């Protein structure tokens, strides 16, 4: 009897779903998208209704071949790709490739990968939702039109290799504008005045100046502060008013995608990408003891707070049994999703509340457990009673000055006994204390009064959590795209992350300024949010996708025509004439912008092409660039410079001496001693770090210039080659692993090799990989072999 074929996206799902179904089903994976626009050309026919020219992705041809072979033998084909726009589009592309096989093609979706959910989906198959496909297709074409037509202009007018993206460039704009706010911020002085007081037989407590007469207290300088302190000290401190209120603190809803990314960033220090990779693993399924492979959470790309009634009933039973009826509300708690939220999927929750994190922690790695624990606790807390707090406010009069003390006591913990949401950038002085019992009219003893100077602070730079929050609030992108947006703007070196905060690079600032001037509408935050709304309208069937693209492309094409001239004009305006004179032709030097920031160039260009780097103070960096180090080549002082890869040490005698050394976290990278000796002079060899990675060099350098690459312990797999593999870095700074006999042997791989023989094809080593479907895992380096295994077998 012919089997039914079920096609999913991820190979991990194959194993999980196969366990739920009988022998009448074959499950195959597509490996994600199987068709896309080719990379080397625009591949969109603008004149013919923006028709996209799709091709099968090279790396997915083997998946398509396997699916087609299985489809020929199948009685029915069920497309079970992810239940969102991307998943619907993948199913549509698969249906296109399978149409000639002429077998019934049905669409099934499930919000969680459990036996009941999968079997129920097969019983109720549907059709591919063309509206979802059109919305995805519109986004893909829109992004291609922007990226492939703006990037070449940047390349021609600024520097080859620069690129732009419809949503990513707007995210860079937010970061650049926040940095501009910080740079232009002028601190304002203000003072706080705190009185330390004590009642009869009570512990001391603190009260802060709150009002002067009936007006809010505003102390702007030291003179005012001293006057207030003196006048207050001369008065009795009398309890004027006591207010006690019971306040409810309500639980927060179960996670949606954006909130999960924010909370994981706050509490676990996870990047948005890491959060989504781990969530994907929890969704697709993990081996849980006797249960085998099972999906632990519902679908993790959602912006709905809706929860299935079965799950609510289960968690209410759990709360009643575990915490008692006093923690259980009289009716289920419901939450309203934000305006414009797609309600196709539930909120992110455990597939079974019975899988307590403590009970299954032995089957999860550290990161999986941390994220699952967060999701599980948030869901439990969302159906619990509010916490009750007794909030006390005491106003204390000292003449015309009113001092206020505020404190709170938790009367009933409610949901707070399970979970408490993290906060972004919360001030340390915002904490409340427990106050003593006092009576109105009571005179207090003044133990001391302290004035303290403060200055207003600039806005915080964006963290992962606050950037995701800003993108969501402004309607830029979708929660499922936030991880890739944040990853892309870092990989393009438009922003860097320091102390978990995003800072725009000089290149990022320059590109942002040029794009805002040349494409004001495309880079406009409100316009980008409107485009997201248009895509939602396509999904809802309110708009046609070609109409939306036509409305966008008309104004966009006009910006494209003017952009090269606009960019050149803006670049010219950005040049700053200096008092320095070119040592080659005598003309004035000007500050220009390049890929690595500002630099000095002769104003006589192109007749004179003299250029040189700017010093740190000329770059706008106030840090002292001197360091207690001399050049071992010429004896001149070494100075700190800023280049593409951050700060480094360079000889002050440049260009006569071009010696440089790497800095890491502001400190000089010391040479590492080894047991090897130089084959030329017999001196010890040391490990150094250069622009292209670590290497071994003679400790007598520069007298002896012997260098050799460092083996990672794996021989080169090429026949007739006696070399070994060594770590290197490419021009973009990305590490790769190549043969030590280069250029005679040009073998190289991007992924880190692991000294473990492939059990399937016998290849000499495996490589470390991270994919959306599998997370971190090992795979055979041989592209013809599909063998994979978990990175750590215990995981």
Which one is catalytic: 283, 299, 323, 419? 299
Neighbours of 441 (CB within 10 A): 8
CA–CA dist 716, 718 (Å, integer): 6
Structure-token pair, residue 629: 């180090």
Rounded Cα distance, 160 and 167, in Å: 21
CA angle 676/681/684 to nearest 5° reads 30
Residues for the chain: how many in total?
A: 795
Q: What number of other Cβ atoms are within 10 A of residue 755's Cβ? A: 12
Name, in order, each residue with C-beta under 8 angstroms of 507's C-beta and a sequence gap of 6 or more.
162, 493, 494, 595, 596, 597
From residue 102, give the alpha-carbon distance in Å to each of 25, 68, 88, 193.
18, 11, 20, 81
Eight-class DSSP state of 362: G
| DSSP β-ladder status, 597-602 and 588-594 | antiparallel
CB 192 within 8 A of CB 535: no
For the question of residue 645 being annotated catalytic, the response is no
Rounded Cα–Cα distance for residues 79 and 76 (Å):
10
The whole-angstrom separation of Cα 270 and Cα 277 is 10
Query: What is the distance between the alpha carbons of residues 154 and 566, in angstroms, rounded to a whole number?
Result: 11
β-pair partners for 45 = 51
Cα-Cα-Cα-Cα dihedral of 659, 665, 671, 676, to 10°? Answer: -130
DSSP string, 81-109: --SSHHHHHHHHHHHHHHGGG---EEE--
Rounded Cα distance between 769 and 774, Å, is 9
Pairing, β 25-29 against β 4-8: parallel
Are 225 and 390 spatial neighbours (Cβ–Cβ below 8 Å)? no
| Residues identified as active-site | 299
């Amino acid at each position: 009897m012919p089997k039914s074929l079920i096609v999913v996206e991820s190979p991990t799902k194959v194993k999980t779903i196969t366990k739920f179904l009988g022998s009448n089903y074959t499950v195959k994976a597509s490996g994600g998208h199987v068709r896309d626009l080719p990379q080397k050309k625009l591949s969109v026919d603008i004149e013919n209704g923006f028709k996209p020219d799709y091709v099968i992705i090279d790396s997915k041809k083997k998946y398509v071949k396997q699916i087609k072979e299985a489809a020929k033998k199948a009685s029915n084909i069920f497309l079970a790709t992810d239940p969102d726009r991307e998943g619907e589009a993948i199913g549509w592309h698969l249906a296109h490739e399978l149409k000639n096989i002429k077998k019934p093609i049905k669409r099934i979706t499930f919000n969680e990968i459990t036996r009941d959910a999968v079997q129920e989906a097969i019983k109720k198959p549907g059709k591919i939702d063309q509206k979802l496909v059109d919305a995805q297709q519109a986004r893909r074409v829109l992004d291609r039109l922007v990226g492939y037509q703006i990037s070449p202009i940047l390349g021609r007018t600024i520097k080859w290799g620069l690129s732009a993206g419809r949503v990513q460039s707007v995210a860079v704009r937010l970061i650049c504008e926040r940095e501009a706010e910080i740079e232009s911020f002028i601190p304002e002085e203000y003072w706080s005045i705190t009185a330390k007081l004590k009642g009869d037989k009570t512990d001391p407590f603190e009260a802060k100046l709150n009002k002067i007469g009936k007006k809010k207290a505003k102390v702007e300088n030291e003179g005012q502060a001293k006057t207030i302190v003196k006048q207050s000290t001369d008065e009795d401190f009398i309890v004027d008013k006591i207010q006690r209120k019971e306040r409810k603190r309500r639980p927060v809803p179960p996670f949606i995608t954006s909130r999960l990314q924010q909370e994981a960033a706050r509490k676990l220090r996870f990047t948005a990408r890491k959060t989504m990779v781990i969530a994907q693993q929890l969704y697709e399924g993990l081996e849980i003891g006797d249960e085998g492979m099972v999906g632990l959470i519902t679908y993790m790309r959602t912006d709905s707070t809706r929860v299935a009634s079965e799950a609510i009933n289960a968690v209410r039973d759990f709360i009643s049994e575990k915490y008692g009826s006093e923690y259980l509300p009289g009716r289920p708690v419901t939450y309203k999703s934000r305006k414009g939220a797609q309600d196709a999927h539930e909120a992110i929750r455990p597939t079974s509340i019975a899988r307590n994190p403590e009970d299954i922690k032995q089957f999860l790695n550290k990161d999986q457990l941390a994220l699952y624990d967060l999701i599980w606790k948030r869901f439990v807390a969302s159906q619990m009673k509010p916490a009750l707090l007794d909030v006390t406010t005491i106003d204390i009069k000292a003449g015309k000055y009113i001092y206020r003390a505020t404190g709170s006591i938790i009367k009933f913990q409610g949901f707070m006994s399970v979970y408490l949401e993290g906060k972004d950038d919360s001030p340390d002085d915002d904490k409340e204390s427990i106050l003593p019992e006092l009576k109105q009219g009571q005179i207090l003893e003044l133990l001391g009064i302290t004035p303290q100077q403060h200055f207003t602070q600039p806005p915080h730079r964006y963290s992962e959590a606050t950037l995701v929050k800003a993108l969501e609030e402004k309607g830029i992108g979708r929660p499922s795209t936030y991880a890739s947006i944040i990853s892309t703007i870092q990989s393009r070196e438009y922003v860097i992350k320091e102390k978990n905060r995003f800072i725009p690079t000089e290149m990022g600032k320059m590109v942002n300024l040029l794009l805002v001037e040349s494409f004001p509408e495309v880079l406009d935050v409100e316009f980008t949010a409107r485009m997201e709304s248009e895509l939602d309208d396509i999904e809802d069937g309110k708009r046609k996708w070609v109409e939306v693209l036509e409305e966008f492309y008309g104004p966009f094409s006009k910006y494209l025509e003017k952009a090269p001239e606009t960019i050149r004009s803006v670049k010219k305006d950005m040049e700053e004439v200096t008092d320095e004179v070119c040592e080659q032709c005598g003309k004035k030097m000007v500050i220009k912008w390049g890929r690595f920031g500002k630099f000095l160039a002769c104003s006589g260009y192109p007749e004179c092409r003299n250029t040189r780097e700017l010093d740190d103070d000329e770059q706008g960096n106030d840090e002292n660039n001197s360091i207690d180090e001399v050049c071992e080549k010429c004896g001149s002082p070494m100075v700190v410079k800023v280049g593409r890869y951050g700060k480094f040490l360079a000889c002050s005698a440049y260009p006569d001496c071009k010696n440089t050394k790497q800095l890491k976290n502001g400190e000089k990278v010391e040479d590492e001693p080894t047991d090897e000796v130089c084959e030329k002079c017999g001196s010890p060899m040391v490990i150094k770090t250069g622009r292209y990675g670590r290497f071994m060099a003679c400790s007598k350098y520069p007298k002896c210039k012997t260098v050799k690459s460092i083996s990672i312990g794996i021989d080169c797999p090429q026949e007739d080659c006696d070399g070994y593999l060594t770590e290197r870095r490419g021009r973009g700074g990305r590490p790769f692993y190549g043969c030590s006999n280069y250029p005679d042997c040009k073998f190289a791989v991007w992924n880190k090799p692991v000294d473990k023989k492939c059990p399937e094809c016998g290849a000499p080593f495996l490589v470390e990989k991270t994919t959306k479907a599998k997370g971190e895992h090992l795979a055979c380096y041989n592209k013809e072999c599909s063998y994979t295994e978990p990175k750590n077998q215990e995981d």
